[in-house]
Amino acid sequence: MVDDNCPVENDSPKDRDSATSDSTCDKQVKRRDFIGGAIGAVCAGAVGAIAGAPAVHASGKFRWRMVTTWPPRFPIFQTGAEDFARKVKLMSGGRLSIDVFAGGELVPPLSVFDAVSSGTVQVGNGAAYYWAGKAPEAQFFTAIPFGLTAQQMNAWLYYGGGQKVWNDVYAPFNLVAFPIANSGVQMGGWFNKKIETMADLQGLKMRIPGLGGKVMNKAGVNVVLLPASELYTSLERGVLDALEWAGPYHDMKLGFYRAAKYYYYPGWHEPGSVIELIINSKAWNSLPKDLQAIVTAASTEANVRALAEFDSRNGEALEVLVDKYRVKLIKFPDEVLRGLHGLADETMTELVESNPKVKKVHDAFMAFSRKVEPWTKMSERAYMEAKGL
């Protein structure tokens, strides 16, 4: 079953090595709901209209199109992309306007990378680990299990050399990239079975995509991939014993608290997922410096605001989940987290050994981790401990 190849949320759709046709993905987007609203029924039809659509240059004005991997109205990611476009237009006095299309409105979600790479459209918005099938090393620019937090990722990308490594990875694809949002640490997921030891994971049926899924698979979990629209009923009917989605804000909207007994934390598999803005390098190079500066500044602002919105909305939602819906929050036992960490290291070693490009990015990522983590330990962590958190 490959439905999960069609990304609708802020995590990896699944192992990108498996191919899913655009038409399959297209159908899924059409039938998926998010927050009660039908996903746009405009997948077909619009695609044919985009051929040969260069940026419009007239009197120094540019008109770009941005395609995203998100459903229409998808909170924070899609709404953030639209807010970014509005601000770029305002700040540039209308010299750069970007029309934003949700997943499936112009191209299927999984065609975003190719559409921007080929120059069919100028801009894309999604997550680098969706393209793991084309470039497994891209996964580091979203999140890896037990990897960097949002704050640490921003440090790496903006000041630690990460941006250059990212641009080097994307250069062969004619792309430049910027972080444009971050989910922060996600939740570990909804479970109908208590997880007290690693043995409790054996045979568990769980929806968890990406590298996290590979780690869980090593732990004996039967990783199930289902489309978003089927998650709630699958959990309720016992087709799934567990699933992970995002954080309290998005999870509450999907109603998982009505179908699961326990809500586990932390999201060891997605400690701070970066959402990317990708721009076709020819389109980027055609922009005058001031417009490039506006795009850079607006994406940085969007990145900061998205994390702030997540923290704010997750905090509010968590309160409702606990106070109103009586959700039982449980931290994964240390033994389980240690076990998963060991399996994550094993998964990463296999990936690094299989691909020199992965190794190059991995080494840069780990070098930065080693540099930033001692500081995190005596700043954020020590402070939180001192505060009693």
Give me the residues that bind Ca ion (CB under 5 A), please: 11, 186, 270
In the complex, the smallest distance separating the C-beta of residue 244 from Ca ion, rounded to whole angstroms, is 5
Write down the least CB distance from residue 32 to Ca ion, Å: 16
Pick the closer one to Ca ion by CB: 15 or 270.
270
C-alpha 162/C-alpha 107 separation (Å) is 29
Nearest approach in angstroms of CB 68 to Ca ion is 17
Spatial separation of the C-alpha atoms in residues 161 and 183, rounded to whole Å: 21
The radius of gyration of the chain's CA atoms, rounded to the nearest angstrom, is: 20
Q: Which two tokens stand for residue 26?
A: 């297209």
**CB nearer Ca ion, residue 11 or residue 105:** 11
Sign of the Cα torsion 344, 346, 352, 354 reads negative
Distance CA 365, CA 148 (A): 9
Beta strands 123-126 and 61-68 are: parallel
What values do phi and psi take at 223, rounded to 5? -75, 120
Nearer to Ca ion, 186 or 303 (CB): 186
Cβ-closest position to Ca ion: 11
The pairing of beta strand 33-34 with beta strand 37-38: antiparallel
The H or E element that residue 287 is part of is none
Cβ atoms 192, 229 nearer than 8 A: no
CB of 191 to Ca ion, least distance (A): 15
Closest to Ca ion by CB, 34 or 64: 34
CB-nearer residue toward Ca ion: 179 or 184: 184
Residues 113 and 67: their CA atoms lie apart, in Å, by 9
Containing 160, the helix (H) or strand (E) segment is none
**Residue (3 or 105) nearer to Ca ion, CB:** 3
Q: Toward Ca ion, which CB reaches closer, 182 or 186?
A: 186
Euclidean distance between CA atoms 364 and 387, whole angstroms: 33
CA angle 91, 154, 373 (to 5 degrees): 165
Tell me the closest approach of the beta carbon of residue 186 to Ca ion, in angstroms: 5
